[in-house]
Structure 1
Amino acid sequence: MRHQSPSSWAVICVCIAALVHFALGFSIEFSVDEAHYALYAQHLAWSYFDHPPLVGWIQWPLVALTSSEGFIRLVPELLWVISCLLVYQVTLEIHHFIQGRNSGYLTSALPSANACGLMAVLAIVAAPMPHVLAIGLLPDTLLAPLSLGLMFMALRWLIQDHFSIGDWLLTGALLGLAGLSKYTAIFTALALVLVFVVAHRKPWISKIGFWLAILLALIFIGPVLYWNWLNDWISFKYQIAHGSGGEWLWRRLSAFLGIQILVFGPLLIIGSYIFLKDCIHATRLSLLALFGFFFIPFTIFASLSGGGGLPHWTTPAWFCLAPFAGIGLAKAWSLQHRTVIRALLIFQIALCLIGFGFVLSGGITSASIKSNPIADLYGWKLAGQKAAELTQATKADGIAVQNWTLGSRAAWYAKPIPVFVLDQRKDQFDIWFGQLPLGANIVLINWSGMSFSPPIASQSAFERCELLDSLEITRFGQVLSKFDFSLCSNWQGPVFAQ
C-alpha cells in the first residue's frame, strides 16, 4: 500500500465495491421496497402514504426512460459513492478540528488526516449493510449523504467564526432534502441543534440566517405537509403506529443489537471506542455533540426495537459514526495494533463476499421454500408478465394479491394493469388503483413464499376461484418458488387474508 497514497486507495476501494454493485444490480430483480419506490417515480405525487416523495422523484428520469433494474440502480450507487466521499471529507475536517483545538497536545501521535480518511472509508466498504442500500434505493440511501452533509455543516459551525448567509441556506436546503427523504430525518435535525446548543458562546437563534434556513427547510417539505393535509395526515398516523410496533420485548432489543454488530461490523465500534478513549482531549464537549449524529438516531431506534424494527434504519447513523471510527482505527494502526484490524477487515469483507455469492446463487436449497429469503429476488418479472397475459386473455379487471408486500413487484412487472391488495389495510395501492369494484373478476397471484388460502370462504369474498396456470422458478437447478394464477370471479367485498 505504500506505493499509493491513502486517498488513492480510498478511491480504489470505492471503485472496486461499485463494480461489484453494478454486477449484482444487473443480475437480480427488484426487491419489494425497490419496486415500491420505482412505482413512486411512475406515479409522481406531492407525497405518498408511507414515505416522503424524494425517493420517487430522484429516480423519475431513469424510470421514465427505462425499466431496466440495473440502470435504475445507478441512482443508489451514485448516492453510495457520494456518501463514501463525504465520510472521507468529514474525517479530514474532524482531524483538522482536533489538531487546531488541541494546540499540539498529543497531535504528534495522531496519524495523518488522509490515513484516517482511508480507514473510515474501509470501515464502510467492509460493512455488509451499506452494500444493500448501494444496490437498492431506499429512503435511508438518500438520508445517509444528507446526514453527512449536515454533520459537515455542523463542523463548519464549530470551526468558523461565523456562518455566512450562504452557509445557513445550504444547511436549510440539506434539512429540507432530508425531510423529503424520510420522516426520521428529525433525529438528524436534533443532532444538529445539539451542536448549536453546545457551542453556547456562538449566537445562532437570533441570527437572520438561522430563520432563513428554517424557512427554506419548511418550503422544501411543503409538498409533504400539503399532501398530508389533503389526505387526513395519513402518513403521520401510519408512521406513529409503525414506529411504536407491537409488544415490547427484551429479546427483540437483544436481537436488534446483535444484528447491528453483524451487519455493520465490529470495526466501526472498535474504532469509535479508541477515538473516544484516546483522541478527544481538549475538544471533548464539541466532539461528543457531533457524536449525536450517531447516538441520537441509534438510541431511538434501539429503544423502539423492542416493539419491532428493521436493521437498515440505522444506516445513516453508522455513516456518521465512520469518521470517528476511521481516526480511531488509524490511531490503533499507527501503534502497531495491526493484526486485529487486518483480521476484522478480512472477516467483514469475507462476510460481504459470502452474502454477494448467496444472492447470486439464489440461496441455499432447502426442503421448505419459505426458509430461503433470497427466493424473493427471483421470479417476479416472469410472474408479472404471466399475470398480465392472463389478465388480458380472460378480460379480467386487474390483478390481485393478498398482502401488500406482494403488490409492489406485481404492479411494477405487470404495469400498467391495476393491482389490488385484498386486505383491510389502507395503503398506497388504494390511492393508486382504488378499491376493487363489486362484481369484478381478477387474476389472483399466490406466491409459495407467502401463500394464502383462496378468498372464497367468507361472505365478503369472491364467488369462486379457478386455477389458471402455475409457474415454477428455478435457478442453477434448484426450485426457488412457485406462483399460482387463479381467475377469481364476482368480488363481493373486502376480506382479511387468512
Structure 2
Amino acid sequence: MRHQSPSSWAVISICIAALVHLALGFSIEFSVDEAHYALYAKHLAWSYFDHPPLVGWIQWPLVSLTSSEGIIRLIPELLWVLSALLVYRVTVEIHRLIQVRNAGYLTTSLPSANLCGLMAVLAIIAAPLPHVLAIGLLPDTLLAPLSLGLMLMALRWTRKDQFTIADWIITGLLLGLAGLSKYTAAFTAFALLFVLLASPKKVWITKVGFWLAVAIALIVISPVLYWNWINDWISFKYQIAHGSGGAWAWRRVGAFVGIQIACFGLLLLLGTYTFLRHCLHSQKLILIALLSFFAIPFVIFATLSGGGSLPHWTTPAWFCLAPFAGIGLAKAWAMQHRLVIRILLIGQLLICLLGFGFVLAGGFTGSAVKSNPIADLYGWKLAGQKAAQLAQANKANGIAVQNWTLGSRAAWYAQPLPVFVLDQRQDQFDLWFGQLPAGANVLLINWSGMTFRSPVGGNLAFEVCEPLDSLEIIRFGRFLSKFEYSLCRNWQGAGAAR
C-alpha cells in the first residue's frame, strides 16, 4: 500500500466494491422492495402510500427505457459511490476542524487527513448491510448521501463567519430532497438545527438566507404535502402506525442493538470509541452536535425497536458516523493497535464475500423454502411471465395474491396486468389498481415460501378456485421454491378487497 497514497487507495477500494455490486446486481432478480419502488416509476405520482416520491422519480428515466434489473440498479450503485466519496470528504473536513490552534499550540495530534478518510471508507466498505442498499434502491439509499451533504454544510457553517445566500440555497435544496426521500429525514433536520444552536455566537434565525432555505425546503416537499392533503393524510397515518409497531418489549431493543452490530460491524464501533476517547478535546460542543447526525436517528430507532423495526433504517446514520470512526481508526493505527484493526477489517470483508456467495448460490443447500431467505430472489421473472400468459389464455380480470409482498414482483414481472391483494389492509395497490369488482375472475398466484389457504367460501372469497398449473424454480440443480396458479371465479367480496 506504500506505492499509493491513502486517497488513491480509497478510490481503488470504492471501485472494487462497486464492481462486485454490479456483478451481483446483474445476476439476481428484484427483491420485493426494489420491485415496489420500480413500480413507483411506472405509476408516477406526487407521492405514494408508504413513502415520498423521490425513490420512484429518480428511477423513471431508466425504467421508461428498460426492464433490465442490472441497468436500473446503476442508480443505487452511483448513490452508494457518492455516499462513500462524501464520507471521505466529511472525514477530511472534521479532521480540519479538530486540528485547530488555540493559544499558539496544536490541541490534538492526529494522523493525516487522507489516512483518516481512507479508514472511514474502509469501515463503510467492510460493513455488510450497506452493500444491500448499494445493489437495491431503497429510500435509505437516497437519504445517505443527502444526510452527508447536510453534514458537509453543517461543517461549512462551523468554519465560516456566515453563510452566503448560495450556501443557504444549497442547504434548503438538500433538506427538501431529503424530505422527498424519506420521512425520517426530519431526524437529520434536527441534527442540523443542533449544529446551528451549538454556535451561539453566529446569528442565523434572523438571517434572510435561513428563511429562504426553509422556504425552498417547503417548496421542494410540497408535492408530498399536497398529495397527502387530497388523500386524507394516509401516508402519515400509515407511517405513524408502522413506526410504532406492536407491543413494546425490551428484548426487541436488545435484539435491535445486536442486529445493528452484526449488520454494520465492530470496526465502526472501535473507531468511534477511539475517537471519543482520544480526539474529542477541541471543539467539543460542535463535534457532539455533529455526532447527533448519528445519535438522533439511532436513538429514536432503537427506542421504536421495542415495538418492531427494520435494521436498514439506520443506514444513513451509520454513514454519518463513519467519518468519526475513520479518524478514530487512524488514531488507533498510529497507536500501534494495527492487529485488531486488520483482524476486524479482514473478518468483516470475509463476511461480506460469504454473503455475496450465499446470494449467488441461492441459499444453503438442503434448506427449507421458508427458512431460505435467498429463495425469494429467484423465479419471479419466470413466474410473472407465466402468470401473464395464463391470465390472458383464461381471460382473467387480473392477477391476485394474498399478501402485498407477493404483489410487487407479480405486478412488475407480469406488466401491465392489474394485481389485487386479497386482504383488508389498505396499501398502494388499492391506489394503483382499485378494488377487485364483484363477480371478477382472476389468476391466483400461491408461492411456496408464503403459502395461504385457497380463498374459497365466506364473505371475502371466490365461488371456486381451480388449479391450472405450477412452476418449480431450480438453481444449480437444487429446488428453491414453487409457484402454483389457480383460476378463481366469481369474487364475492366487492368493496372489501384491500
TM over 0.5: yes
User: Which residue of structure 1 aligns with residue 83 of structure 2?
Assistant: 83
User: Which residue of structure 1 aligns with residue 438 of structure 2?
Assistant: 438
Once the 2 structures are TM-superposed, how far is the Cα of residue 485 of structure 1 from its aligned partner?
A: 0.3
Q: How far apart, CA to CA, are the structure 2 residues paired with 1:367 and 1:117?
A: 41
1:421 aligned partner, one-letter code: V
User: Which residue of structure 2 aligns with residue 332 of structure 1?
Assistant: 332
User: Which residue of structure 2 aligns with residue 371 of structure 1?
Assistant: 371
User: Which residue of structure 2 aligns with residue 401 of structure 1?
Assistant: 401
- CA deviations 1:155-191 (Å, max 9, x no partner) are 0111111000000010000000000000000000000
3-state DSSP class of the match of 2:282?
helix
3-state DSSP class of the match of 2:296?
helix
User: Which residue of structure 2 aligns with residue 30 of structure 1?
Assistant: 30
Structure 2 residues not aligned, in runs of 5+: none
2:56 aligned partner, one-letter code: G
1:63-82 aligned within 5 A: 63-82=63-82
1:110 matched to 2:124? The reply is: no
Once the 2 structures are TM-superposed, how far is the Cα of residue 457 of structure 1 from its aligned partner?
A: 3.1
Q: 1:461, 1:495 within 8 Å by CA — same for their partners in 2? A: no
Number of aligned residues: 497
Q: How far apart, CA to CA, are the structure 2 residues paired with 1:302 and 1:494?
A: 41
1:34 aligned partner, one-letter code: E
User: Which residue of structure 1 aligns with residue 177 of structure 2?
Assistant: 177
Q: 2:107, 2:282 within 8 Å by CA — same for their partners in 1? A: no
3-state DSSP class of the match of 2:35?
helix
User: Which residue of structure 2 aligns with residue 147 of structure 1?
Assistant: 147
Structure 1 residues not aligned, in runs of 5+: none
Q: 1:461, 1:494 within 8 Å by CA — same for their partners in 2? A: no
User: Which residue of structure 1 aligns with residue 221 of structure 2?
Assistant: 221
Q: How far apart, CA to CA, are the structure 2 residues paired with 1:71 and 1:54?
A: 18
1:69 aligned partner, one-letter code: E
3-state DSSP class of the match of 1:273?
helix
Once the 2 structures are TM-superposed, how far is the Cα of residue 335 of structure 1 from its aligned partner?
A: 1.3
Once the 2 structures are TM-superposed, how far is the Cα of residue 251 of structure 1 from its aligned partner?
A: 1.2
TM-score (norm 1): 0.98
Q: How far apart, CA to CA, are the structure 1 residues paired with 2:85 and 2:150?
A: 14
3-state DSSP class of the match of 1:109?
coil
Per the alignment, do residues 298 and 103 of structure 1 end up closer, same or farther by CA in structure 2, a change over 3 Å counting?
farther
TM-score (norm 2): 0.98
Once the 2 structures are TM-superposed, how far is the Cα of residue 478 of structure 1 from its aligned partner?
A: 1.1
The range that moved more, 191-200 or 102-111, is: 102-111
3-state DSSP class of the match of 2:440?
coil
3-state DSSP class of the match of 1:140?
helix
Per the alignment, do residues 103 and 304 of structure 1 end up closer, same or farther by CA in structure 2, a change over 3 Å counting?
farther
Once the 2 structures are TM-superposed, how far is the Cα of residue 105 of structure 1 from its aligned partner?
A: 5.1
Q: 2:101, 2:107 within 8 Å by CA — same for their partners in 1? A: no
Once the 2 structures are TM-superposed, how far is the Cα of residue 477 of structure 1 from its aligned partner?
A: 1.3
Q: 1:423, 1:495 within 8 Å by CA — same for their partners in 2? A: no
Per the alignment, do residues 347 and 103 of structure 1 end up closer, same or farther by CA in structure 2, a change over 3 Å counting?
farther
Q: 2:32, 2:409 within 8 Å by CA — same for their partners in 1? A: yes
Q: 1:370, 1:449 within 8 Å by CA — same for their partners in 2? A: yes
3-state DSSP class of the match of 2:488?
strand
Q: 2:435, 2:494 within 8 Å by CA — same for their partners in 1? A: no
Q: 2:438, 2:494 within 8 Å by CA — same for their partners in 1? A: no
Per the alignment, do residues 232 and 463 of structure 1 end up closer, same or farther by CA in structure 2, a change over 3 Å counting?
same
User: Which residue of structure 1 aligns with residue 55 of structure 2?
Assistant: 55
User: Which residue of structure 1 aligns with residue 12 of structure 2?
Assistant: 12
Q: 1:101, 1:283 within 8 Å by CA — same for their partners in 2? A: no
Identity %: 76
3-state DSSP class of the match of 2:376?
helix
Per the alignment, do residues 424 and 104 of structure 1 end up closer, same or farther by CA in structure 2, a change over 3 Å counting?
farther
Per the alignment, do residues 115 and 103 of structure 1 end up closer, same or farther by CA in structure 2, a change over 3 Å counting?
farther
Once the 2 structures are TM-superposed, how far is the Cα of residue 107 of structure 1 from its aligned partner?
A: 5.6
Q: 2:301, 2:309 within 8 Å by CA — same for their partners in 1? A: yes
- CA deviations 1:441-491 (Å, max 9, x no partner) are 000000011010010032321000000000000111111110000000000
Q: 1:253, 1:303 within 8 Å by CA — same for their partners in 2? A: yes
Once the 2 structures are TM-superposed, how far is the Cα of residue 66 of structure 1 from its aligned partner?
A: 0.2
Q: 2:59, 2:72 within 8 Å by CA — same for their partners in 1? A: yes
User: Which residue of structure 1 aligns with residue 294 of structure 2?
Assistant: 294
1:52-451 aligned within 5 A: 52-100=52-100, 109-366=109-366, 368-451=368-451
Q: How far apart, CA to CA, are the structure 1 residues paired with 2:117 and 2:36?
A: 35
Once the 2 structures are TM-superposed, how far is the Cα of residue 365 of structure 1 from its aligned partner?
A: 2.5
- CA deviations 1:219-272 (Å, max 9, x no partner) are 000000000011000000000000000001111111110010011001111101
Q: 1:466, 1:486 within 8 Å by CA — same for their partners in 2? A: yes
The range that moved more, 425-434 or 358-367, is: 358-367
Q: 1:423, 1:494 within 8 Å by CA — same for their partners in 2? A: no
Q: How far apart, CA to CA, are the structure 2 residues paired with 1:101 and 1:172?
A: 32
Once the 2 structures are TM-superposed, how far is the Cα of residue 496 of structure 1 from its aligned partner?
A: 9.3
Q: How far apart, CA to CA, are the structure 2 residues paired with 1:250 and 1:126?
A: 29
1:178 aligned partner, one-letter code: A
3-state DSSP class of the match of 1:221?
helix
Q: How far apart, CA to CA, are the structure 2 residues paired with 1:51 and 1:409?
A: 18
Q: How far apart, CA to CA, are the structure 2 residues paired with 1:444 and 1:164?
A: 59
3-state DSSP class of the match of 1:282?
coil
